[in-house]
Structure 1
Amino acid sequence: MEAALGTRQKIFNEWPLRPLNDEATEFVQRLAMRLAAQYSFNAGGIPWRVYLVRNLSPNAFSIGGGFVFVNEGALTFAENEEEMIAILAHELGHELAGHFCKSRVESAPTSFFDFLLGATPASRPKETAQLGSLPQTIDPAKEQQADRIAISLLQASGYNPQTLLRVSRRLPKDIDGHWVDSIRIETLSQLLGSLPDFNSAPRDSEQFQRIKRMLSSEAPVNRF
């Protein structure tokens, strides 16, 4: 807990964050709450807090305790609201899997997490990336677990889970501090293979497109 608190304080001190009452921040916060409300394992018990980082890289991060940080670049990269939801679902997956608190996984019902955290072969060893002054460990096995839970979240919320695969395929392969490789894409394809694809356009909203335009029109922000 002390480590998570230290990480959080370092982010608040060093990262350029948008205000909490900012329209874009409030919008993404509502999307996250919409997803969490559908989860069957007490997702509502987590005090979810979403912050927007003034960074142009299409990325998002979670650090435990319900804290999720989404780069502005993730919103401008997403083609529609459904893709933004898919990006958020992956980060909520890390939180709900207990990747920042071992006891949370151990206290979960075994039969439930056997599927969501089930055996998925890691594609490569853990790696360490640097986010500003913060080191981050990239664990392929945990990334795959987060994808499993993200699929469950998207299904429960009525979104097309195939969107997670589509947006992952479009992500640049050199995002700092995140894991995108061919084996993750292959694993996602296998997980989604038995699920139907929706025969309709991705869900979107005028507010999301307006926020995208607003962020795109603002002055560029240097990467931290």
Structure 2
Amino acid sequence: MSQSEETALGLEAADKVLRTERPSRDAARIAQVRRVGGAIAAVSGMAGARWEFYVIEKKEPNAFCLPGGIVFVNSGLFPYVKNDDQLAAVIGHEVAHALAHHGAERVSQRMAVALPGVAVATVLGSESPALGQAFASVYGIGANVGYVLPHSRQQESEADRIGLILMAKAGYDPDAAVGFWNNMRAAKGSKPPEFLSTHPADDSRIQNIIRFLPEARSYIPASVPPPPDDDPPPGVDG
């Protein structure tokens, strides 16, 4: 899938989200998301991206990035985000999905399974309704606008690692990701076991993030002063 096709499909999905969901009017939250998102987008180095950042009023604690760079943060996420550093962990992760072209990867995988041999190359190499249909299938666009991409555990881990690097390059404290995921782990509600989920279980994710931290810290610009000690050390709730 070309960059232009990927961006066009992301814009189509974003339009459906904005027509279906209720955008937030909380000026402080909107400013925070745009401030942090803009800083991370500036260091992403993603050519052809169209970075836009929105807050929507939805109680589910979630965020997602559509192909091409349009990021949505649900209002339900903010009770678990204690500062800009923790928000940077969320947005860095979502920007990483776009940077790694995970959306296009999932569409290509779906098409490779659904279409026989030569037809795959033909459709991927040209503008085709089938491409849009495959994208809609992966994202659930249509009847219920289920636009949250069901990333695989491998993609999630990759986005965690890249996201930590991006937030560090933007001057945010990568250790804050551990605090954020501890906040999420402490949230009430049942979750499926890891082998039944496309996302890693919280404990596994936190351990992987701790393993990625030394690499991420190496990307903190030398000109950036040490971050304030407003997060507990890794492994401690808060």
Instruction: Place the TM-score, normalised by the shorter chain, in its bin.
Output: 0.5 to 0.7
Q: Deviations over 1:23-71 (max 9, x none)?
A: 53233112111112223xx237422101101012221111111111001
State TM-score, norm by structure 2: 0.61
Higher helix share: 2
- CA distance change for structure 1 residues 143 and 195 in 2, over 3 Å: closer, same or farther? closer
**Which residue of the partner structure matches residue 31 of structure 2?**
26
1:140 deviates by 0.7
- CA distance change for structure 1 residues 175 and 98 in 2, over 3 Å: closer, same or farther? farther
Q: Secondary structure at the match of 2:82?
A: coil
**Which residue of the partner structure matches residue 115 of structure 1?**
none
**Which residue of the partner structure matches residue 59 of structure 1?**
62
Q: Give the partner amino acid of 2:96.
A: G
Q: Give the partner amino acid of 1:159.
A: Y
Structure 1 residue runs of 5 or longer lacking an equivalent are 103-127, 204-224
Residue 42 of structure 2, aligned match among 16, 37, 50: 37
When structure 1 is superposed on structure 2, of 54-63 and 173-182 the one drifting more is 173-182
1:1-224 → structure 2 map (5 Å cutoff):
1=5, 3-18=9-24, 22-39=27-44, 42-43=45-46, 45-102=48-105, 133-134=145-146, 136-171=149-184, 172=187, 179-181=199-201, 182-192=203-213, 200-202=228-230
When structure 1 is superposed on structure 2, of 69-78 and 139-148 the one drifting more is 69-78
Q: Is the 8 A contact 1:82 1:202 kept in 2?
A: no
- CA distance change for structure 1 residues 95 and 16 in 2, over 3 Å: closer, same or farther? same
Structure 2 residue runs of 5 or longer lacking an equivalent are 106-137, 218-225, 232-238
Question: Superposition RMSD on alpha carbons, in Å?
Answer: 3.4
Q: Is the 8 A contact 2:48 2:68 kept in 1?
A: no
- CA distance change for structure 1 residues 199 and 85 in 2, over 3 Å: closer, same or farther? closer
Q: Which has the larger radius of gyration?
A: 2
Q: Give the partner amino acid of 2:75.
A: E
Give the distance between the partners of 1:30 and 1:195, measured in 2 at CA.
21
Higher strand share: 1
Give the distance between the partners of 1:17 and 1:175, measured in 2 at CA.
27
When structure 1 is superposed on structure 2, of 25-34 and 85-94 the one drifting more is 25-34
Q: Give the partner amino acid of 2:18.
A: F
Q: Is the 8 A contact 1:168 1:180 kept in 2?
A: no
Aligned residues: 175
Give the distance between the partners of 1:129 and 1:81, measured in 2 at CA.
29
- CA distance change for structure 1 residues 70 and 175 in 2, over 3 Å: closer, same or farther? farther
Q: Secondary structure at the match of 2:103?
A: coil
State TM-score, norm by structure 1: 0.64
- CA distance change for structure 1 residues 195 and 23 in 2, over 3 Å: closer, same or farther? closer
Q: Is the 8 A contact 1:48 1:66 kept in 2?
A: yes
Q: Secondary structure at the match of 1:201?
A: coil
- CA distance change for structure 1 residues 130 and 58 in 2, over 3 Å: closer, same or farther? farther
